[in-house]
Structure 1
Amino acid sequence: MAKNMQPIAKRCKTLGISPAVMGYAKKETKRNPGGQMRKKKSEYALQMNEKQKVKFIYGILEKQFHSYYEKAVATPGKTGDNLLILVERRLDNVVYRMGFAMTRREARQLVNHGHFTVNGKKVNIPSYLVKAGDVVEVAESSRSSTAFKRLVGENAVMFLLPAWLEREKNTLKGTVVRMPAREDIDLPIEEHLIVELYSK
Structure 2
Amino acid sequence: MARYTGPVCRICRREGMKLFLKGERCFGPKCPIVQRQPAKNFPPGQHGQKRTRRPSEYGLQLREKQKIRRMYGIMERQFRRHFEEAERRGGVTGENLLQILEMRLDNVVYRLGFADSRNQARQLVRHGHFTVNGRKTNIPSFIVKPGDVVAVRPQSREREYFKIVAETAGSKQVPEWISRDMESLSGRIINAPTPDQIERPPFNEQLVVEFYSR
User: What is the CA deviation profile of residues 1-54 of structure 1, one whole-angstrom value per residue up to 9, with x for unaligned ones?
Assistant: 543324211110111221546534244278994643415221111110111111
1:114 aligns with 2:128: yes
- 2:186 corresponds to which of 150, 173, 193: 173
TM-score (norm 2): 0.85
CA distance in structure 1 between the partners assigned to 2:4 and 2:88 by the alignment:
27
From 27, 32, 55, the equivalent of 1:28 is 32
Residues 138, 173 of structure 1: 8 Å contact kept: yes
Q: How many residues align?
A: 199
Structure with greater proportional helix content: 2
- Residue 72 of structure 1, aligned match among 66, 80, 86: 86
8 Å Cα contact 1:4/1:59 also seen in 2:
no
Percent sequence identity is 45
Q: State whether residues 19 and 27 of structure 1, in contact with CA within 8 Å, keep that contact through their aligned partners in structure 2.
A: no
Structure 1 residue runs of 5 or longer lacking an equivalent are none
Amino acid across the alignment from 1:102: D
Which amino acid letter does the alignment assign opposite residue 3 of structure 2? Answer: K
Counterpart mapping for 1:35-74 below 5 A: 35=42, 36=49, 37-38=51-52, 40-74=54-88
Q: Distance in 2 between matches of 1:22 and 1:57?
A: 10
d(CA) in 2 for partners of 1:189, 1:22:
19
> CA 1:51–1:77 in structure 2 vs 1: closer, same or farther (change >3 Å)?
same
Q: One-letter code of the match for 2:66?
A: Q
Question: TM-score, normalising length from structure 1?
Answer: 0.91
Q: Which structure 2 segments of 5+ residues have no match?
A: 43-48
Segment drifting more, 96-105 vs 23-32: 23-32
- Structure 1 match to 2:45: none
Moved more, 163-172 or 97-106: 163-172
Deviation at 1:186, TM superposition (A): 2.0
CA contact (8 A) 2:104 2:140 kept: yes
RMSD: 2.1
Query: What secondary structure, in the 3-state scheme, does the structure 2 residue paired with 1:72 have?
Result: helix
